[in-house]
Structure 1
Amino acid sequence: MSSVQTSRAIMQQQQPEQPSPEEEKLTSELANDRPTIDAAVKSFVSLVSARSLTATATDATTTSVLLGIVNNSANNESTNNHPATTQQQVLQLARAILKAVNSFQFSLQDTMAATMAEKPSLSVEKKQQLIELGVTARLWNGLVQSEQKPSRFLGRRALKLAWPTMDVASSSFPPAQAVENPVDVAIRERQLQWLQEFETLLFRDVQKLPANIQEEDDDSALLWSPDKGAAELSKRRQRRKLAAQERGSSTPS
């Protein structure tokens, strides 16, 4: 069964009466919203891991040259272990995010939001927001109640509505005062920083492409763009190519 078919079946269970054409349209859009939350979280793990590997390699090379221990096997072993530790930490965070996503349910009030849209005093924009919240809440809750994982069916559009009340940090991490080991404290702070970065990328608007080649990197496109970041990566490669050409042209002969 496709994502759209599954979503429609869930909505029929949650809303026995015939959904309006607008609700039908929203259900299809939510079911077709790609990348899924699962895919975006995996991309975030790759992003952080790649960044850590690059930083570790650079730091290790600089330190080895300065200390004159390029061939020191103990140093090499330590360097090789560090990226794995970082990857393990970000994987722990990824599991925490997905666990929070797949156990979260919208409030009853949210599932009834569409009925509030019937108030004549509301603006058209507010009515649309309430209808979307109601459809998203019923679809999301229906997936959870049917033992399906929202992270596999839904994408950014649904997650942006759920995230503000999901509170991943409180549900996944012990209070700061409960952590005593300095290493654990550092890991906790690092994971919370990554969690904040994930949230920032979730709510940041993906730059419209084709983007100016001089614009700063848009990591949100690596997570949430429908092309899975292909255009963003191409932009970065092109910018590096232009930078290399400029350096070459400025080098004295």
Structure 2
Amino acid sequence: MSSATQEIKRVTTNTLQKMKSSGEKISMLTAYDFSFAKIFDEAGLDVILIGDSASNVMAGHETTLPITLDQMIYHAQSVIRGAKRALVVADLPFGSYQSNEEIALASAIRMMKEAGVHALKLEGGVEICDSVKKIVSAGIPVMGHLGLTPQSIYKFGTYTVRAKAETEAEKLKSDALALQDAGAFAVVLEKIPAALAKEVSQSLHIPTIGIGAGNDCDGQVLVMHDMLGINNEFNPRFVRKYLNLHEQIIGAARQYIDDVKSGDFPSEKESY
């Protein structure tokens, strides 16, 4: 059987667990539309996250707070059509799960039924464990998120590194264990000291996905706009830019403008 006709094997939560056990690192990026999801999927990405960072990079908001569940469902519907192999995880946005576990479950069911994603991500520790248990009990996989949790930015008041102080570090460690006990299949650790992330990763039997949390997590995630260099205004130390699409796209657009104004485009070959 040729590779073209071989069945594509979907990455699952069980796949990620096996990857942690074998020491294979997990690759994860955000995507918000069909086209990029399809490209990342073809590249062999393990996990695609429809992040509520869509509020920033797609809608232009200052924080992740304004994006709604309806808007997240729209982005998730677009992404799932392009992903044939990757595990597709969607953020539940601010306000859709914090009130109580019944509201959290209702939001989770809407996302799963209307978008068809494979799992959900929720921010928070012990405070949301009842909701995590409720969602997981309905058969919906949940990924946790600790450290810098952007939905709580007004509580923190800053985007600086979290859990540097011993008290906060101890809470993060207990939160990670609580999420695991509540049934989470993985935990994102954002912008915390590398030594703490290593300790947490070793203490859990579920995978950890780091962003600004060092190299000892079981996987890594970046926002696609940062990794591709589309966003040239956000340059934290944890982002590695693999392209500089901001400059390349501006250059292409300027060339197009010049070609249109000079009459060079369309040429005879580009006309009917």
Structure 2 length-normalised TM: 0.24
Query: More strand per residue: 1 or 2?
Result: 2
Larger radius of gyration: 1
Query: More helix per residue: 1 or 2?
Result: 1
